[in-house]
Amino acid sequence: MAVLSASTPRATTRRTILRWLTAIALPCGAVACGAAAGDRAGEDRLSREAGAADVAALDSLPWDSVVARARGTTVTWRMWRGDPSINAYVDGWLAPQLRERFGITLEAVDGQGAELVNALVVEREAGRTRGTASLLWINGETFASLRRERLLAGPFAQRLPNARFVDSASAIIARDFEQEPLGFESPWGTVQFALIYDSVRTPTPPRTVAELRAWIVAHPGRFTHDQGFAGATFLKGVMYALSGGVATFAGGFDSARYEAGRDTLFAWLAGVTPSFWRRGETYPPDVAAMHRLFANGEIDFSLSNNQNEAVTKARQGVLPPTVRALVLRDGMIANTHYVGIPASAPNAAGAMVVADFLLSPEAQLEKAKVDVWGDGTVLATHTLPPEWRASFAALDGDPRAVPRDTLTRYARPEVAPAYHERLLRDWRRRFRTGGP
């Protein structure tokens, strides 16, 4: 009786609250109900969504028919539009090539990471089975979120003809933050984290995490990292180095191992952040701000998720001509970016043809040139026809670029996305806001 009388008013209150909410949120109430109904329908919803249905239907067609269907269509590609070199490659090289070869109009629009997930969720809640974007630039935790929310169409990656050249023996390409892509995303490029320094200002830069620590302490106010994605990758790399390497964190998220690694990293940081720029009381918002501070001589190191950014930015005049990329011998995190097709893609055939062309030797070679983008290839270049092999070998021309074998030797894979999420959150709480 006591239990009953205690629970009934609470249930009534909850109903009242819900009724109020429905009243307040009437216009979106319908949307919410639509989404909830969709959830209940489960598989039904997936098959109603255009992209997922098309990818499944195209699976039984020969590739030539896919190409034929894609002719004369438009592919809207949601991607990060924050880098002029990447935009120039996409709009100035890829788009004309696709138009000429396949009669496809490529439209690149802005949207990356969590924004992609938000946009697709809202589209689904609005009851749209056919969205706007047919192709997405994704990796890591975005891939994890999209898969968890079942927003991707597939599998499609294995059936792309150029997929046969992909370097699937590389742990960094075959697995995305330890997740099996399972054909729901197709590799596009690889990048490796690197510090950037000026060889005139810093003739003998630190080469290990231990040397970096000594350098920071000896040069107070001249080092920092941003509070965004690149900064988190730097911190994660240091965490690997201080905890016996990436193997410690491999094999899925483990909170005990994470907490031990985090505590070691935080103890290290507590020793060096007082020697950071502005004594570690504030952090630059993003990599663009890092480059600005570095170019203006306020700090002596910038950083980038792409080892070639030092060279591309120097060629553009954004960074001084004497900059170099720096790879620490403890290892630097490398990862692969992919393209995926949303479950609501209006043009799955076009998206697959674009994804395939992105893997072609010519598109991969063009993208890898440091005066274009400097994005690492995902192809196993030794499997390519000889003329392509020679062209890729000739890429290692710029003396400022880190030699490919050095990169490979010190490349370390990403671990489960949860490490990234937790570390970023805990770092913000502990170091950015100076809490306990």
Site residues (CB under 8 A) for other proteins? 14, 17-18, 21, 24-29, 31-32, 35, 113-115, 117-118, 121-122, 125, 141-142, 145, 148-149, 221, 227, 278, 281-285, 293, 296-298, 417, 420-421, 424-425, 429, 432-435
Least distance CB 214 / other proteins (angstroms): 20
Q: For other proteins, which is the closer residue by CB, 337 or 367? A: 337
Q: For other proteins, which is the closer residue by CB, 80 or 93? A: 80
Q: For other proteins, which is the closer residue by CB, 29 or 84? A: 29
Least distance CB 145 / other proteins (angstroms): 5
Q: Which amino acid does the sequence have at 371?
A: D
**What DSSP line would sit under 389-411, residue for residue?**
HHHHHTTTT-TTSPPHHHHHHHE
CB 275 within 8 A of CB 216: yes
Least distance CB 31 / other proteins (angstroms): 7
Least distance CB 240 / other proteins (angstroms): 19
Task: Of 79, 90, 84, 85, give the one whose Cα is nearest residue 113.
Answer: 79
**H or E segment and range at residue 267:** helix 255-272
CB 412 within 8 A of CB 237: yes
Q: For other proteins, which is the closer residue by CB, 26 or 256? A: 26
Work out whether the CA dihedral 350, 356, 359, 363 comes out positive or negative.
negative
**Residue holding tokens 């709009």?**
91
Least distance CB 186 / other proteins (angstroms): 22
Q: For other proteins, which is the closer residue by CB, 112 or 162? A: 112
Q: For other proteins, which is the closer residue by CB, 280 or 350? A: 280
- What SS3 state is found at 369? coil
Least distance CB 32 / other proteins (angstroms): 4
Rg of the chain taking only CA atoms, in angstroms: 24
Q: For other proteins, which is the closer residue by CB, 208 or 282? A: 282
E strands, 249-406, where? Answer: 301-304, 323-326, 332-342
Least distance CB 141 / other proteins (angstroms): 4
Q: State how far the Cα of 428 lies from the Cα of 436, in Å rounded to an integer.
A: 11
Q: For other proteins, which is the closer residue by CB, 374 or 417? A: 417
**What DSSP line would sit under 158-202, residue for residue?**
GGSGGGGGB-TT-HHHHSBTTB--TTSSEEEEEEE-EEEEETTT-
Q: Which residues contact 229 (CB under 8 A, 6 or more apart)?
A: 113, 305
Least distance CB 417 / other proteins (angstroms): 7
Least distance CB 3 / other proteins (angstroms): 22
Q: For other proteins, which is the closer residue by CB, 74 or 118? A: 118
Q: State how far the Cα of 78 lies from the Cα of 97, in Å rounded to an integer.
A: 19
CB 364 within 8 A of CB 213: no
- What SS3 state is found at 335? strand
Give the pair of three-digit tokens for residue 76. Answer: 């809207």
Q: State how far the Cα of 430 lies from the Cα of 47, in Å rounded to an integer.
A: 45
Q: State how far the Cα of 383 lies from the Cα of 318, in Å rounded to an integer.
A: 36
Q: For other proteins, which is the closer residue by CB, 147 or 324? A: 147
Least distance CB 295 / other proteins (angstroms): 9
